[in-house]
Amino acid sequence: MTIVHELYSCPLSLVSRCSGPSEDVLMAYRLMGLDLDATYDEIERSYDELMVDYAKDPKRKIKLQVAKDKILEDRLRQRMSGSSSFSAVVDPFARKDGPKPLITIPPALQGIMEVPDKEVALKNLAVFGLIGCLPAVTVTWLSTSFGIGFAVSLYLLYNRGVPDQGEMGAEMRPPKPKPLLMATGISLLLGCIGASLGVLILANILTFLSQELLIGIGSAFGFFTAASLFKVQDDYI
């Protein structure tokens, strides 16, 4: 961390006449070892590091808190007055929103749906991808593919939210009628819808694939959707 150097064309004795920080604020920058154009993240990082360094010095910690507050208040004052000359400054009042998720659950469906994390989504995609491709080995495995897909979807959906429930050998939740019926209905419905779409849509695109394989892929995608996006438990234990 560097010590603050004078970045204004006017001397500190005339700082009150300038549009920049006051002398008290400049002292706050010096105390925290920051430059005047430090970003908000740098301010927070410096504060956290100094609080650790002076963990056994209560008076110093109070001074650091006051210094941080003065800096942020000055940043807000300059922003509101439009006099800020620090184009590179990133502060909590002008931070850009993070990347938006690829899937957004509508508010009306948030009680029964939830976006999975990346690890769970990829794991489910791999599992149901293999299940959906079983008819590629032999068309007689279509019923096997559908049955396994339904069973896995039912298991994952009913147990969604259990810590480390990604392992297939994980202990299953105690049976509850309502969540179990919901998981059964959602899995079966989406599996059938997926199978129908596989024939109606994919058949016109992937003409070189057998109808049985298209049904297997479509139903597997439906089961994947049920297990990955829906939830049936009132709370996660």
DSSP string, 187-206: HHHHHHHHHHHIIIIIHHH-
Residue 6 pLDDT: 37
CA 153/CA 223 separation, integer angstroms: 5
Query: With 80 as the cut, is the pLDDT of residue 234 above it?
Result: no
Query: With 90 as the cut, is the pLDDT of residue 184 above it?
Result: yes
User: Which is more confidently placed, 45 or 78?
Assistant: 45
pTM: 0.54
The confidence band for 11, taking pLDDT boundaries of 50, 70 and 90, is: very low
Residue 171 pLDDT: 58
Q: Is the dihedral of CA 96, 98, 99, 100 positive or negative?
A: negative
- Cβ-contact 190, 223 below 8 angstroms: yes
**68-113 pLDDT, tens per residue?**
999 998 888 877 776 555 444 444 544 555 455 556 777 777 778 8
The confidence band for 164, taking pLDDT boundaries of 50, 70 and 90, is: low
